[in-house]
Amino acid sequence: MQAFPTTVTRRMALRATLVAGIALTVLGASGSSGNATTAEEAFASKAGAHAIQTAAYGGSAEQKVDRFRDLLRRYSNVKEVALFSLGKYEKQLPPSRAKEYFTLVEDFTAKLFASYAGNFAGREVQVLRSAPRTQNDIVVDSRILYNDDRRPAPVKWLVAKRGNKLNIYDVNIQGVWLSLFIQQKFVSILKKSKGDFEPLFAYLKE
């Protein structure tokens, strides 16, 4: 995957990276089940197969967003990622607006996925290896293979187990962990607004 051009704005870069990360996490895994040797790798493969079906759906724009929202709910933990993205401002999220914030992050992600995910769908993912990062978190190394002449794109997935449930919590593309990239953007907005969440809500609604 090519690096972002220097003329791309920070907001466009954020959105492109966000969509690429989501797409590579759950779209790019199609066809990798033969390479999966652990529960974490198999989980990513299952998510990818489901996402390919979702991307091929030919309904209205609203129906596509709904399907991608369902996909995210099934394979990821948007709430935990959304809280992590607030950084030091997590505890300042007004309890009365927490549900609104989680909904905005989920909708923001689903809309981006529905609009751009097809651009990132690869032919298959080759799972190379996996290793524990912590007791419950596994980093899966892989590479995306494409149907055209693009070079394979290295991707790392962070698959975490909470209780008996697996979720895809993060993805690393171009050497950048997606959750940290999003956190930098959200924290930057909150810092400029001195902790006022309205500008962040407005950004997520765009």
Task: Specify the number of domains making up the chain.
Answer: 1
pLDDT at residue 200 in the model: 97
121, 28 contact by CB (below 8 A): yes
Q: 3 vs 71, which has greater pLDDT?
A: 71
Helix (H, G, I), strand (E, B) or coil at 65: helix
Q: Is residue 142 part of a domain?
A: yes
pLDDT at residue 84 in the model: 94
pLDDT at residue 154 in the model: 80
Residue 69 contacts by C-beta under 8 Å, 6 or more apart in sequence? Answer: 106, 107, 110
Full domain range(s) for residue 72: 10-205
Q: Is residue 2 part of a domain?
A: no
pLDDT digits (tens, 9 = 90+) for 21-57: 544 444 444 444 456 678 888 887 777 667 666 766 7
Q: Is residue 192 part of a domain?
A: yes
pLDDT for 5 beyond 70: no
CATH number for 200: 3.10.450.710
Query: What is the average pLDDT value for the chain, to the nearest integer?
Result: 77
Q: Is residue 4 part of a domain?
A: no
pLDDT digits (tens, 9 = 90+) for 118-176: 555 566 777 888 889 888 889 888 777 777 787 887 878 888 888 888 988 887 877 88
Q: Is residue 1 part of a domain?
A: no
Q: Is residue 77 part of a domain?
A: yes
